[in-house]
Amino acid sequence: MIKSFRGMLADGQQETIRLSTNNGLIGYKIKKFQVMTADIPSSIESSNLIALFKYEQDAVAEVVSFDDPTLLAAIDYRQHDNEAYGIVANQIVFDNEIFNQDIFITNKDMLTGASMNYYIELERMKLDLAEASVATLKDIRGTG
C-alpha cells in the first residue's frame, strides 16, 4: 500500500509528517520524493535544500551530511534565470531505510527565500514485533 503526502514549505520551515502508531507495527519506506518551486515566474532564481529526517531538527540547515544516520532523503534544487542552466535537481533517497515513527521535512533557500512544493510517496508495510522493535530502537538511538 502506498501512502502519499504533499504540501508547501516556506524558506526555513520544518513540517512533521505524522506516521507513528500506538504499537509501531506499521513501517514505511520512501518510494518517491519530488519537489517543485512554488513561484513559477521566469525570472526567479532559487537554490533550495529540501531534506527528510527521522528527527525534528533544531535548525533548518543549509548543508546535509550523508554521515547523519537520521537523514532519509535530500534534494538539492537549483533554478536559474539563464535558460542555458534551467533547473537542476539532485535527488538522493536512502530507500533501504524502514521507519515507523514520524518524519520531518525541511526547506532552506540560500538565495531568495523561495517556497517549495513537495510530494512524498511511502510504501506502507506490516512489521512483526521483532522488526518493529528494531525500527523503534534505531529511531530512539538515532542510528541507521
10-25 pLDDT per residue, tens:
999 999 999 988 788 8
pTM: 0.85
Give the separation between CA 111 and CA 120, rounded to whole angstroms.
25
Full domain range(s) for residue 134: 2-141
3-state secondary structure of 133: helix
How many residues comprise the chain? Answer: 144
Give pLDDT tens digits for 99-123. 988 999 999 998 888 899 999 999 9
**Is the distance from CB of 29 to CB of 121 less than 8 angstroms?**
no
Structurally, the chain folds into a number of domains equal to 1
